[in-house]
Amino acid sequence: MSTSKQIKSALISVFHKDGLAPIVQKLNELNVTIYSTGGTETFIKELGIDVIPVEDVTSYPSILGGRVKTLHPKIFGGILNRQDHKGDIAEMKEYEIPQIDLVIVDLYPFEKTVASGASEADIVEKIDIGGISLIRAAAKNFKDTFIVSSMEQYEEFLDIISENKGITSLEQRKKFAAKSFNVSSHYDTAIFNYFNEDEVVYKASEQKSQVLRYGENPHQKGYFFGDLDAMFDKLNGKELSYNNLLDVDAAVNLMEEFKGEAPTFAILKHNNACGFAQRETLKQAYIDALAGDPVSAFGGILIANTTIDAATANEIHDLFCEVVIAPKYDEDALEILKAKKNRIILVQKDVQLPQQLVRTSLNGLLVQDKDFITDAVGHLTYVTNTKPSASEIEDLLFASKLCKNTKSNTIVLVKNKQLLASGTGQTSRVDALNQAIEKAKNFGFDLQGAAMASDAFFPFPDCVEIADNAGIKSVIQPGGSIKDQLSIDYCNAYNISMVTTGTRHFKH
């Protein structure tokens, strides 16, 4: 039997009618018999095209307020019958079941209804039953039946039937069946995640994706699954790469800690801040952030928590950087930044970031809640005789926010709301501290009176002793070691203030 099929009959039942009219008109031109229900039936009639109500096939009305329309053996038999199966052919004739060669469905908008903040009753009513059943039936029987399962597929389907005068190939039917199982599985995942409160189950489905130039390295394939357009307006530059996206993610999460605060600027490299400062003007914040490590800033990711003006843009323009991110740009600032055509310029939208973090591990996934705790004055326990001054507390909390967003083991050194240096991703906390001190000194910073943050406790007094010898006089750390008192005793002996937070902020 030929694998090519001529569409002679179609069942159309859709929520969205946008883009449907040209398909219906083309099917009519091809003399296709059309069956339909409810609002779709009315829509087709208003186009002046003949349509057979499903009720005329089933001899059963739409019932329960429209909840049951197509769920009937004469409909599903018409979709699921095997056209090369003698038994199916005989039963089709015996029970007067019409052949249905094409099914077009667009499901009730469940996710949009949830996102709108609708009541549970309204959300439940947007769980499509008949539509999802039609999709699965037609997709299962792709050898004989063509399924169009979403309005996003209308244009491609119209091209197929227009070019081939209603004849479809097995390859085309199988391709659209795959699309349909994607639609149905995504739909069910969204419904499960809405209702699930008790099951420890990870289900995720992301419909939007893009192929990246490559992965972490040129020999690796790379993909992004998500909706970047919901996060950013891209105003200039080349496409974001895999590594760009990792850095942008780190930048956005870091700056989230400083949302609504005074002008703040960050420069990131390999997911860590190499420059960071908060000042009265954004220009000065950028200048002081760059001073933290002008070497690493080359090719970095830049992010601001407020509008980038022309004065700041002029400073940025002298630096080779991959990406600039801000909530807004002045027009004259954009003109300056766009002068380099490959520089990626992003306007960050006010979108809630994911509440869970996911990564692959061995033959599975690790899933955890985001680290929602940001250390604040109310979290502090003053464990030493010397108490930090008000300005020192500001620097300690500033350093703690940076520490939370830096790879462990880490030590962060801050003075006057400027990142002096950090030790990042070290296997030893002592190594992280020594790295930070050496780096700060290499860039000419005076560590006298600086504040130090650690992402985890000190099991020995070695770190506070090294810090003291470098001139650091205030420390913030989680505490919780059985040997906390050793570090506290050293601080008391040398007039260093130390506060603990009770919260560890590892970032592996």
Q: Are 316 and 286 in contact (CB under 8 A)?
A: yes
Cβ atoms of 296 and 319 closer than 8 Å: no
Return the structure tokens found at 10: 């179609």
432 neighbors 467 (Cβ within 8 angstroms) = no
Q: 442 with 434: CB under 8 angstroms?
A: no
Whether the ω angle into residue 409 lies within 30 degrees of 0, i.e. cis, is yes
Locate 126 and state its tokens: 């947007």
Among candidate residues 8, 17, 143, 270, the one labeled active-site is 270
Q: Residue 81 has which token pair?
A: 């019958």
Helix axes 130-140, 73-80, angle to 10 degrees: 30
Which neighbouring-strand residues pair with 381?
Answer: 500
Measured between alpha carbons, how far is 15 from 323 in angstroms, rounded to an integer? 41
- Please, what sign has the CA dihedral across residues 376, 380, 386, 387? positive
Whether 140 sits among the annotated catalytic residues: the reply is yes
- Beta pairing, strands 300-304 & 272-278: unpaired
Q: Which of 17, 26, 140, 174 is catalytic?
A: 140
CA distance linking residue 477 with residue 489, whole number of Å: 15
Q: Strands 102-106 and 9-14: what pairing?
A: parallel
Quote the CA–CA distance of 325 and 253 in Å, as a whole number: 12
> Which residue, among 324, 280, 264, 317, has the nearest Cα to 300 in the 3D structure?
324
Q: Which of 313, 275, 270 is nearest to 295 (CA)?
A: 275
Q: Is 219 a catalytic residue?
A: no
> What is d(CA 46, CA 34) in angstroms, rounded to the nearest whole number?
14
Element at 366 (helix H, strand E)? strand 364-369
Query: Measuring CA to CA, which residue among 374, 424, 408 is closest to residue 273?
Result: 424
Distance CA 91, CA 105 (A): 26
The 10 Å Cβ neighbour count of residue 418 is: 21
Catalytic (active-site) positions: 140, 270
